[in-house]
Copies of this chain bind each other. A is one copy, B any other.
């Protein structure tokens, strides 16, 4: 992706007052929703430039390159902005577990059936 294309995406993204945008990661083929995390502009830029899922850790207040410790990296295939540009959807290929608990997704452990 060219620097101009990267800049265009960033210009269309509406970051919140903290300079962050929520990013949903979805496994591209199975369509599982893997996790939801946050990106600042630098994280979105690095994701677009490198094709790897990079986030901003709100608890640590710092860049979070997913998989640096665990090896559970995300190869990003598509980045989608929603209709008002304030949410990012990433179609990724997730290596191993997306969740720090070891579960495949962060949404595996607490399932409430409302209407089966």
Instruction: Please report A residues at the B interface, Cβ cutoff 8 Å.
Output: 1, 5, 9, 12, 22, 24, 26, 30-33, 35-36, 47-48, 51, 75-83, 85, 87, 89, 99-101, 103, 106-107, 109-116
Contacts and interface: CB of A to CB of B under 8 A. Distances in A.
Interface of A is mostly: mixed
A75 B115 contact: yes
Taken together, the copies of this chain in the complex come to: 2
Given A12-B110, A83-B109, A77 B116 contact: yes
Contacts of A80: 107, 110-112
B115 A77 contact: yes
A112 B36 contact: no
Q: Which of A9, A32, A101, A112 has the largest number of chain B CB atoms within 10 A?
A: A112
